[in-house]
Amino acid sequence: MSDPTSATSVASAASAAAFDFLYLASQSPRRRQLLEQIGVRHELLLPGADEDAEALEAVVDGESPDDYVTRVTAAKLQAALRRRASRGLPPAPVLCSDTTVALGALILGKPDDADHAAAMLARLSGRTHRVLTAVALGLPDGRVLSDVNVSQVRFAEIGQDRLRAYVASGEPMGKAGAYAIQSQAAAWIEHIAGSYSGIMGLPLFETARLLREGGFEV
């Protein structure tokens, strides 16, 4: 016969472990949109003026794209956890993510300027590249859950006029690989193998799995 007291304790513990919101440590409107798509309530936990968030994305010499995206995401998460604690915010899961584009072993991050963006896109023209998006979830009990999604994207040949027009639109700035899949660059994509949401910046399958593992109802 089951013990009703034990059953009640288990139910209470499960309820206590569940969360109804998380902190999203990202300025990306696409990540917010994707969380909203799967019904996850969230609040932004953005860097303060005293934090150099861009410095976390610096590439280490000889680092592989896989190691890079994992390391940067872990560093962003630790910075966000310190931020939450220093601001005295209520405990809740903290979600971080980072996306990079890789052509072989070459990491294509965010372009420095229009010329850099054009050079990146010219490299990608007519070739297949990888889009790697790492996700890390920091829980109030100190656990960290993480995963990496890797997708393959093939671009058709991009004509110079179209490339220049896209760069002139300003869309490539602030985007890994100098493009966004939900922009006009989608017209160049011949084939995708992997996760559309991961290419956008937050792989929903992996994210939902981590959230469920951490006690979040998704």
**Rounded to an integer, what distance in angstroms lies between the CA atom of residue 120 and that of residue 65?**
16
Q: Annotate 143-176 with b (16+ C-beta within 10 A) or e (fewer).
A: ebbbbbbbbebebeebeeebbeebbeeebbeebb
Q: Which of 52, 67, 98, 147 is catalytic?
A: 98
Which of 87, 76, 84, 93 lies closest to 27, judged by CA? 76
Catalytic residue status for 98: yes
Helices (H), 87-178: 114-124, 160-168
Handedness of CA 160, 153, 174, 60 (dihedral sign): negative
What amino acid occupies position 190?
E
Give whole-number Cα distances, 43 to 138, 184, 209, in Å: 15, 29, 20
Query: Any idea which residues carry the catalytic annotation?
Result: 98
